[in-house]
Structure 1
Amino acid sequence: METWSLSLRQRKLLHIMQNQPSFLTSSQLARQLNVSPRTIRNDIAEINKNLEPFHTRIVSEKSKGYFFHSENPDILRQLGHMDNAFFTREERVRYLTFTLCLSDIPLNLYDLEEEIFVSHTTLEHDLNDLREKYVLSPPYISLIQVKDELSFEENERKRRSILNRLFHEDWNYNSKGNAYYGSVFLDEKILDTVSLTISHYLNLYSIRLEDPNRVMLDLAVVIMYLRVRQGHLIEDIQRDIADTPAWQATKDIMEALEKQLDIAFPKCEVTEIYTKIAGARLMDARQLNFSTIGHYFDYQTIHMANAYIQRIHKYFDLDFSADEDFYITLLQYIRYFQMPEHIFNIQENINLTRQRLTVEYEIAWLFQDIAIEYLGRTADSSELLYLALCISGAMEYLNQNIPERKIRAIICCHLNLPAMWALKRKLLGAFGCYMDVIELLPVNEKDSYDFTNIDLILSTTRKNIPVPDGSTVLFISPFLNDQDHRNIENYINLRHTQSLYLSDQTSPERLFKEAVWHENVENIDKIILLKLLAGDVANTQEERDKLFETISRREKILSYAYHPGIAFVYALKPEGDPRLSVATMEHRILWNGIKIRTVIMAAIPTDQAILLFYLLEKIYQKDVPEDRIKNLRTKEEIYQYITNERK
C-alpha cells in the first residue's frame, strides 16, 4: 500500500478535518494548532498533494472555509498512522518512551542518536521532555542513567500505565485505534477479541463505563496479555474486593479470554483489571440524591465536596449548595479523582476550552488546596478541565434559576408589529432563560421612553438611544443572525460577571490607571519578567517571593498563557489592596506555544476575589477580534481597550 510523509501537525490537522461535520476557517484551525492561518493554508496544500491518489481532498470554499471529502476513508485511516517518524520532538519523545517501556536491557545513548537521527544535545532535550511527562508526573517512573546507558526502573505497573497512555491519549473515537500512530505493539485481532468479550460481560452485569475509561480498559487487558506472554508480571498487591458485580464480571472476562487466547492469567493480574473496572464504573444517577448520598459515597468524598462548595461561597459569593444535580456530579467527580485508575481524557486544544471557560477555571482552581489537604496532591490540567465543565453547568443553573439575575430587555424595532413579535419569540427561544422582553418599542418613541430599570436595549437601527448609566444598547438584525447571537451571549456572560461584583470594590479601570507600567521591554527572560512584575505588586521582598512561588507553581500545572496576545498572571493574597503591573514587549515572546506581547500581573486580596472575574472579562473580551488584541502595544491602546464600553 502507498504511504505518505506528513508531519505530525499535518496529521493532526487532517484528523481535525476528518471529524468535523461542517466547514472550518483557516483562523479556527490555526487556533486549534497554535500556528498562523498561513501555515494552515500551506499544510492543507501539502496534505492535498498526498491525498490526490486516494480520491480524497480538503475542499476549500470562499467565505466558508475548508471541508473534508473522501471516497475511501478506511484506506485513509491506515495511511494516517505512523510509528517511526521523527519529524518533531513529540514524535521522538513518544518513540523513546515506547522503546524504554518495552526494553529488558538498558539502551545505549549513542545508538539512540543514530536510530532517531538527532544530535546528542537534541536527544538530551528530548529526554528532558520525557522526564517532565513521565518521571516528574504520574506514574513517576524512574529514568536510570549509568554512563551512556539508559533504562526505566523495573516497575511493570508503571510501564504498563505509560504504554496505555501512549495509545489512549490520541484515540480516534470516530473509528478505532490511535489517530496518529499505528499498532506495531498492539495486535488488532487481539484487541477486537478483548473488546467484544469485555462488552458482553459488562452488559451482562449492567456495568457502564465512560468511553475514555472503556478504551483504557480494553488497552489494559491487551497490554496485560502481551506482557504476560513475554514473562512480565506486575507486583502482587493486596486489594479489597468491595464491588461484587465488578469482581464477578472481571473473573468471567478473564476466564473467557484465557480460553480464547490460550493463556493463564495469575490472580494478581485479574485483581489489577478488577481495580480498573471498579474504579471507572459509572454510578446509577437515578439512585443518587441529597438523602441517599451517605449510602453511596464515603465520608472523605462528601467532606471534600462540602468543603469545596463552602470555599466557592466564601471567595466568590456563589452558592451552589441547593443544586442537587451539580452536587451529585461533583461527588462523582471527586470519587473518580481519588482513583488513580480513572482517566480524564483531553483531545482538543485545552487553550481553546480555557478561552470559553475563563471564570469557571478560576472556580475550579479553588479545589487545589482541598486536594492537597485531603489527598496530598493537586489536580492536573485534565482534571481541572473536567471540574471547570462541572462548574459551567452549575453557573448555568444559577443564572437560569435566580429571578434577580434575569436581564430586563426591550426590543426597539423599525419594522411592523408582526416582525417585532417574531423577533421577540426568537430572542426568548434562544435566551429566554436569561432575559425577559419587557416591551416592543417603535424606534420613533426612543427619545420619550423611560429606560429606567432596563438592562438591555436591542435596536434594529443604529440611531442614538439616550439610555441611563447601567443600560446597554446592542444593534441587531431584525432577523437575529449568528453574529447577533454571539453578541448577546457575550453581553449575558459579562452581565452575569458584573452582577457578582460589588460597586464599592476597586474598579478594573481604576486598577489599570494606577498600575505600574513597563513599555517596550526588550529581550527579557520570562522568569526575570515575572519577578519584575511581582516586585511591582508586592509590598515587601518576602511578599514578592511568595507571590512568585505561587504563580510558578500554578504555571507548571495550568499555564497563564492561553490566549493570543495577552497573558494575565495573578494570585490571591490574604489582605491589602489589589495591585496591578503591566509590561508590553518590543517583540512578542513565545510562552506555552503562544505569542504574547502584553503581560499583566495582579495581586488580589481574598475579600475582593470576585474582582478576578471582572478583570478576566475585561482583559479577554470575547467580541474583540484577536488581531486587535495581538497588536496592543502602548499604555494608551491597552487602557482604551480595557475601558471600552460594549455598545
Structure 2
Amino acid sequence: MPLYLTARMTEIIKILSSTNEFVTSNELAKKLGVTSRTIREDIKIINDKINKYGTQIISKKSKGYKFFFDSEEQRNMLLNQVETERLMFDVNFVALEDRVRFIIQKLLCSNKSIKLELLGDELYVSDSTIKKDLKRVKEILNQYNIAVVKDNKGIKAKGNEINMRFCISDYFINGGEIENIFIIKLINSFGNHFSDEDMKKIKEIILNQLDKNNIEITDETLNKIAIHILIAVGRIKNGQPVSSIRNIEYLKSKDEYEIAKRINHFIESHYRVKFSEQEIAYTTLHLAGNRLGQKEKILLSDLKLFLGDDIFRLSVDIVEQIKIGLKGLNIYEDDKLIYNLGLHLKQLVMRLTYNMNIRNPLVNKIKIQHPLAFEAGVIAAHCVEKVTGFQVNDNEIGFLALHFGAAIERQRIISNSKKKVALVCASGMATSELLLTKLSHVLDNNYNLIGVYALHQLDQLLKQNPDLILTTVPIGRKLDLPVIHVPSILNNRDILEIQHSLRNIHNKKKTISQFFSKELFFPGLKAKTKEEALEFLTSTMIQMGYIDTKTKNSILERERISPTSIGNTVAIPHPMNMVSTQSFICTAILDKPLKWSSGEEVKLIMMIVLEKRLQAKFQEIFESLYDIIQSPENVQTLCKKRNFNQFLASIDSI
C-alpha cells in the first residue's frame, strides 16, 4: 500500500539511505531548514509507515540516525515505492494539484470511508484546506462519472468500477508525461506488486491471441490494453471487480469477446484470479474500442458487412456532408477514406457508448497545421452526435481529422497542386493565342493555364475557381483573388514584371489584408464571456447585412462542437458551413482577456466568413493568419492598435 510521505519525509529517507554513516538530527535539520524536534517527529511517523518493509531508522545517542534494513531486497522495495510516489505527487503536498492527486488515489484505493481528519494529518494541512481541496477532487472525479459521498465515517468514491479504472488509467497514468518504465510503479502505488515481467507476460498473451485471429496491433495500442488488463488484475485481487456492465449482450456478440475470453483464460491461470463474464466484457471493450487491424485487408465490397449497416451509412453520410459543407474539398470519391473512416468510426462509437477517454497529444498541432482537415473532423463529429446522441470531444475530432488530412494529401498528389491561372483578353484570337503561348513559357511548373476568356465571360471563368487572373483589360469589379494586368504583346521587361508580381502573390500576408474591413473592426470590446462576445459580433454583422441568422447559428454551432481558440490569446471563430455571399474577417480586440475554453484565455478575435467559392481557400487564409499570430509579440502589437489603418498596416508589415 502507498506510504503517503511528505516531501520532507522523503528527503530524510533519501539522505539516510545514501550513506552507511550516522547522521545527526542537527545535520538533517540544517539541510531541510527545520528544527531538530521536527526531524524527530518526522522520523517517528516514517518508522510507523516503513515498518512493513522490514526497514527502520534507528537512533543512537550522540551519533544520530541511520537507515537499517533486513535485506537489500527490502531496502530496494522501499526506495522504489518512495520514488513511485515522488513521480505521482511530486512529493510536494503543499501544491494543490499534488494534494488532489493524493486524495483521489486514496479514494480509489479504499473500499471504506476515509475521515477528513486522517487526510489532513497525512498531508499536514488543516481540515478547512482538505474541504477546499475536495471541490477540485469532485470536479475531476465528476469527469469520470464518479461521485464523492459523505457518511458518518467520512468520505468515499462512489461510481461504476469501470469508471474507477478509466480514472486510474487516464488521470494517473496517461495524465502526465511518464515514461513506460514508471507505469508499473504507478500501478503498484494502488496496492499492487507487479514487475516489468508481468507487463511483458500480458503483452505476450495478447499478441499470441491476436496473431491467431490474424489481427495486427500497434505498440501504443498494445501498451494501452496491457495497462488496462494489469489494472483489472490488481483491482480484482483487491476485491474491486466489475460487477455490472451496460449492454453486456451487445459486447458478447462482438468478435472481440471470444478473443477477450481466451486472453483472460491465460491470465487467470497465470495470476490465479477469476475473470467473471463482466470482466471478459470489460476486456472486450478495450479490444473493440482501440485500433486493431486485419493483417489481410478487408475488400471494399465486404466493408459494409464488416462494419454493419449503421456505421457504413454514417461513414458515407459524413463524406456527403463534407462535400456540402466544404465545397472545393474533393475527397468524396476516395475509397481509401471510406475504408479507414469506417473502421475508425466503429471503434469511436464503442468508446463513446462506454465513455472511454482517449488522449490525443497532437490535437493542437492538427488544429493549426491542418485546419481544413480539422474542419472536416468537426463536420464528422456533428454527424456522429446527430446519430448517436454523444458529443465528440477535441481529442476524437483530431483523430478523425487525420483521416481527412490523408485524403486531402492524396488529392493534392493527384492534382499535382498546381495553381490555376486564367487569361482575360479582349483582343482577337491570334493575339490571344500568341499571348497564351508566351505566358506558358513565363509560368513555371507551379501554374496551370486553364484557358482564355473574354471579359463578358468573367462569371463563367470564376466558376472554374482560378487561383489568379492575368488580364489585358480592366476587370471593372473587385475580386477575392489576385489579378495581374499584362500587355497584349509581351517584351522581356513585361515578363520580368509578371514574374515579380507572381512572387509577391506568394506573400500571403499581403493577400490576407483584403479581407479586413474598417466597419468590422471593434477595438476595446467589452465582454465578460465568450458567448457575450460572439453574440455581439454576429448580431452586429446581421444588422450590417454581412451575414444572416443561418450563418450566425452556424458560427455558434461550430464553436459549441470545438473551441476555436488556437493559443497566444487568439480565437478564429467561423461557420460550420460556408453559407455567406461575402468574404471578410471581423476583428475584435477585447478590453480584457476572457476565458474561451478550458485553460485558454482570448484577447484577439478574428472571425473568418468566406463565400462558397472560396471555401477551398480556407486553409490558405487560416495559414496566412497563423503566420501572423503565432508570435506572442505580434499579437501584443496588434492588440495595442485602436485605429483600423494602423492595425492593417501592422498586418501587412509583420
Q: Shared fold (TM-score greater than 0.5)?
A: yes
For residue 163 of structure 1, the aligned residue among 157, 163, 168 is 168
Q: In the alignment, does 2:381 pair up with 1:368?
A: yes
Inter-partner Cα distance in structure 1 for 2:126 and 2:541: 44
Inter-partner Cα distance in structure 1 for 2:280 and 2:563: 39
> Residue 621 of structure 1 aligns with which residue?
627
What SS does the aligned partner of 2:88 have? coil
Mapping for residues 189-338 of structure 1, pairs under 5 Å: 189=195, 190-237=198-245, 238-240=248-250, 241-242=252-253, 246-280=256-290, 282-284=292-294, 286-317=296-327, 318-338=329-349
Mapping for residues 154-553 of structure 1, pairs under 5 Å: 154-170=159-175, 175-178=180-183, 183-185=188-190, 186-189=192-195, 190-237=198-245, 238-240=248-250, 241-242=252-253, 246-280=256-290, 282-284=292-294, 286-317=296-327, 318-340=329-351, 345-346=358-359, 348=361, 350-403=363-416, 405-407=417-419, 435=446, 466-467=497-498, 471-473=502-504, 509=513, 511-521=515-525, 524=528, 526=530, 528-539=532-543
Inter-partner Cα distance in structure 1 for 2:323 and 2:554: 22
For residue 95 of structure 1, the aligned residue among 94, 99, 102 is 102
**Higher alpha-carbon deviation: 613-622 or 260-269:** 613-622
**Contact (CA 8 Å) 1:518, 1:583: kept in 2 or not?**
yes
Shift of 1:376: 0.6
**Contact (CA 8 Å) 1:167, 1:178: kept in 2 or not?**
no
**Higher alpha-carbon deviation: 94-103 or 214-223:** 94-103
Inter-partner Cα distance in structure 2 for 1:192 and 1:408: 56
Q: Which amino acid in 1 is paired with 2:193? A: D
Q: Which runs of 5+ in 1 are unaligned?
A: 7-73, 410-431, 439-450, 456-463, 475-487, 499-506
Shift of 1:549: 8.3
Among all aligned residue pairs of Structure 1 and Structure 2, give the percentage whose two residues are the same amino acid: 15
Inter-partner Cα distance in structure 1 for 2:411 and 2:258: 42
Q: Which amino acid in 2 is paired with 1:166? A: Y
What SS does the aligned partner of 2:222 have? helix
**Contact (CA 8 Å) 1:207, 1:281: kept in 2 or not?**
no
Q: Which amino acid in 2 is paired with 1:583? A: A
Q: Which amino acid in 1 is paired with 2:348? A: F
> Residue 14 of structure 2 aligns with which residue?
none
Shift of 1:158: 1.8
CA offsets 1:234-275 (integer angstroms, 9 cap, x no match)? 23453254455x445433332322222222322332232234
Q: Which runs of 5+ in 2 are unaligned?
A: 9-79, 422-443, 450-468, 472-481, 483-494
> Residue 152 of structure 1 aligns with which residue?
157
What's the TM-score, normalizing by structure 2? 0.63
**Contact (CA 8 Å) 1:364, 1:387: kept in 2 or not?**
yes
**Contact (CA 8 Å) 1:250, 1:270: kept in 2 or not?**
yes
**Contact (CA 8 Å) 1:81, 1:179: kept in 2 or not?**
no
Q: Tell me which structure has the larger Cα radius of gyration.
A: 2
**Higher alpha-carbon deviation: 634-643 or 220-229:** 634-643
What SS does the aligned partner of 1:332 have? helix
**Higher alpha-carbon deviation: 126-135 or 509-518:** 126-135
Inter-partner Cα distance in structure 2 for 1:521 and 1:173: 42
Shift of 1:338: 0.9
- 169 and 335 in structure 1: CA distance in 2 versus 1, 3 angstrom threshold: same
CA offsets 1:191-238 (integer angstroms, 9 cap, x no match)? 444333333333344333334432332122222222222222323453
Shift of 1:337: 0.8
> Residue 14 of structure 1 aligns with which residue?
none
CA offsets 1:32-67 (integer angstroms, 9 cap, x no match)? xxxxxxxxxxxxxxxxxxxxxxxxxxxxxxxxxxxx
What SS does the aligned partner of 1:82 have? helix
Shift of 1:80: 7.3
**Contact (CA 8 Å) 1:568, 1:599: kept in 2 or not?**
yes
**Contact (CA 8 Å) 1:315, 1:610: kept in 2 or not?**
no
For residue 567 of structure 2, the aligned residue among 547, 563, 566 is 563
CA offsets 1:159-214 (integer angstroms, 9 cap, x no match)? 12222223441477964344996741243324444333333333344333334432
Kindly report the root-mean-square deviation, in angstroms, between the aligned alpha carbons of the 2 structures: 4.8
**Contact (CA 8 Å) 1:172, 1:178: kept in 2 or not?**
no
Q: Which amino acid in 2 is paired with 1:293? A: L
Inter-partner Cα distance in structure 2 for 1:515 and 1:611: 23
> Residue 482 of structure 1 aligns with which residue?
none
What SS does the aligned partner of 1:264 have? coil
Inter-partner Cα distance in structure 2 for 1:554 and 1:96: 37
Inter-partner Cα distance in structure 2 for 1:165 and 1:550: 33
- 155 and 209 in structure 1: CA distance in 2 versus 1, 3 angstrom threshold: same
Q: Which amino acid in 2 is paired with 1:374? A: V
Q: Which amino acid in 2 is paired with 1:532? A: F
Mapping for residues 126-141 of structure 1, pairs under 5 Å: 127=134, 129-135=136-142, 137=143, 139-141=144-146
- 141 and 523 in structure 1: CA distance in 2 versus 1, 3 angstrom threshold: same
Shift of 1:289: 4.1
What SS does the aligned partner of 2:292 have? coil
Shift of 1:382: 1.0
Inter-partner Cα distance in structure 2 for 1:118 and 1:472: 65
> Residue 70 of structure 1 aligns with which residue?
none
- 573 and 407 in structure 1: CA distance in 2 versus 1, 3 angstrom threshold: closer
Inter-partner Cα distance in structure 2 for 1:436 and 1:250: 55
Inter-partner Cα distance in structure 1 for 2:447 and 2:629: 23
Q: Give the length in aligned residue pairs.
A: 501
**Contact (CA 8 Å) 2:85, 2:189: kept in 1 or not?**
no
- 628 and 85 in structure 1: CA distance in 2 versus 1, 3 angstrom threshold: same
- 584 and 111 in structure 1: CA distance in 2 versus 1, 3 angstrom threshold: farther
Inter-partner Cα distance in structure 2 for 1:178 and 1:599: 41
- 332 and 342 in structure 1: CA distance in 2 versus 1, 3 angstrom threshold: farther
- 81 and 435 in structure 1: CA distance in 2 versus 1, 3 angstrom threshold: farther
What SS does the aligned partner of 2:261 have? helix
- The structure carrying a bigger helix percent of its residues is 2
**Contact (CA 8 Å) 1:212, 1:345: kept in 2 or not?**
no
- 277 and 521 in structure 1: CA distance in 2 versus 1, 3 angstrom threshold: closer
CA offsets 1:127-176 (integer angstroms, 9 cap, x no match)? 555555542x4x43344456995433242222122222234414779643
**Contact (CA 8 Å) 1:213, 1:342: kept in 2 or not?**
no
**Higher alpha-carbon deviation: 379-388 or 319-328:** 319-328
- 261 and 107 in structure 1: CA distance in 2 versus 1, 3 angstrom threshold: same
- 621 and 170 in structure 1: CA distance in 2 versus 1, 3 angstrom threshold: same
**Contact (CA 8 Å) 1:572, 1:605: kept in 2 or not?**
no
Inter-partner Cα distance in structure 2 for 1:151 and 1:549: 43
